[in-house]
Structure 1
Amino acid sequence: VQILKAIQTVIGLTLIPVLYPVLNRLADMGQTFARWMQLFPNIARVIGYAAMALLGFAAVGAVANIVMGASKFIMAGLRGIWVAMTAVTKAYTAMVWLAQIAVIAWNATLKFLRGALLAVRMAAIMAGIGINLMSWPVLLVIGAIALLAAGCWLLIKHWDTVKAAVMETSAFQACARVVAWLAGVFSTA
């Protein structure tokens, strides 16, 4: 503590002789200024106005400084809200981008599936044609049997007419002679 007091004393003893001339000069200037104020009141009024203007500029600067500080403080609070709103907008943009990519992928899938489904359809049609072609002989046999049955029924129904018509033909009479000759050959044997 004594060292600090000694340092203060040394600094005080060193600075006071240097500061006294400055302080004396300021005091002399103040006296001269006070005397001029009494001698020249118009100049004193202009100097007063200038001092007031200077103080006004200082006040405006202080108010501007306060406003700037307050606005920076407010902007610091609003920056968080701004970041949140921007994040929502960015998330929406990302979702729209992902939706567009999903639509493009869906369209590509549908184009691929269209080709695949067309190939499956063509294969099914060809299989149907193949099964149809394989079943034609069966259908023809069934049809032939049905026609044979219908023919037999019609033959039975119209037997007398058919028999009379067939017996009157020259071909039947020729066949009847051949059968009679064969019957004679077998009966003599």
Structure 2
Amino acid sequence: MHKPLPAARMARRVALQNLVLAIAAAAVTSCDNLDNFEVDVGAKATIPPGTILDELLGVLAFDDFQSINLTQELDNQGVTKEDVDSVRMISLALVIDGPAGANFDFIESIAFFAETEGQPKVLVAELDPVPKGQTSLDFVVSGAELKPYVVAPSMKLTTTTKGKRPPQETMVSAAAVLDVDVTVPGC
């Protein structure tokens, strides 16, 4: 038969149990925040002016998007491609860098796709129609799962564009943000 614990001892035991529960809850919350990080990917393109013979835009080529390898970014976070659970694009934007006064009126619609060997081409972001008079564009992202593309040796982002070449050489910057969800040991 057990004797009842004195009130002070019981209060300490309850306080200790509450502390253990609070630490456990904090650890779970911390793991939720630790297993996701964002990776910024940027690129630039120069669009030559249109001529009478070569007016249609077709593809907007961003050289830095032609071979994306996130191995270094994963290494910086202390994870490997095997630790990746999920990757999704969370934003994509284009900005006119020059010339002064230029805008995106030469583009009617534009879509970005992720591609890698052995996987189908997948839509990641689009804008249709492109609003008139804009010097920057924020895209609607598809939410497509990009893990198979990111863990491949390299992936590329390509475009499909409707429009005409601009009246003068135009420089454009692209900025994409990827949300990478990884497995963190011990979480």
Shared fold (TM-score greater than 0.5)? Answer: no
TM-score, normalization by structure 2: 0.26
Compare the two structures and name the one with the higher helix fraction: 1
* Bigger CA radius of gyration: 1
TM-score, normalization by structure 1: 0.26
Greater RCO (Cα-Cα under 8 Å, separation 6 or more): 2
